[in-house]
Amino acid sequence: MATSTAIASLETLVAIHRSNNPDEIYAQLISNFKRVPHFDWIGVYIKHGENMVRKAASSETPSVSPARLSIIQIPIREKKEVLGKIMVMMQPSQSIDESDYLALMKTGEELGKKLALIENSA
């Protein structure tokens, strides 16, 4: 795992567990992961009805055409229910390794637990 991905993941997990404000958590997730050099663009999408709605992103659009980027989508889920996704785009020449993937998966898992907890306490 790139050191920058490890740091971004740990900082995001802390933010998830400290805050009960989803918008604050999304903003912190974006802020942390946009510092990872091989991540060109990152966005958080949350399910509203049948649609996924973008809640936060590192920029309005990626710096290059999405057709030229590698894309990874990480589910945000609580148990088996998909609540949203974290989308990361990167240059094809910059591969994501297994530890990057696992760090993003853990972030999605913890975010899903937190969103379910917030929703159930409302």
If residue 87 lies in a helix (H) or strand (E), which one and from where to where?
Answer: strand 81-90
**pTM assigned to the model:** 0.90
- State the residue for tokens 């055409």: 65
Residue-wise pLDDT tens digits, 13-29: 999 999 999 999 999 99
Q: pLDDT value at position 2?
A: 73
Neighbours of 72 (CB within 10 A): 16
Q: 110: number of CA atoms within 13 Å, CB side? A: 21
Tokens of 6: 């490890």
* Residue % of the chain over a pLDDT of 90: 66
- Cα–Cα distance between 48 and 99 in angstroms, integer? 30
Please give the domain boundaries of the chain with CATH numbers for all domains: 3-121 (3.30.450.40)
Residue-wise pLDDT tens digits, 47-70: 999 999 999 999 877 666 667 788
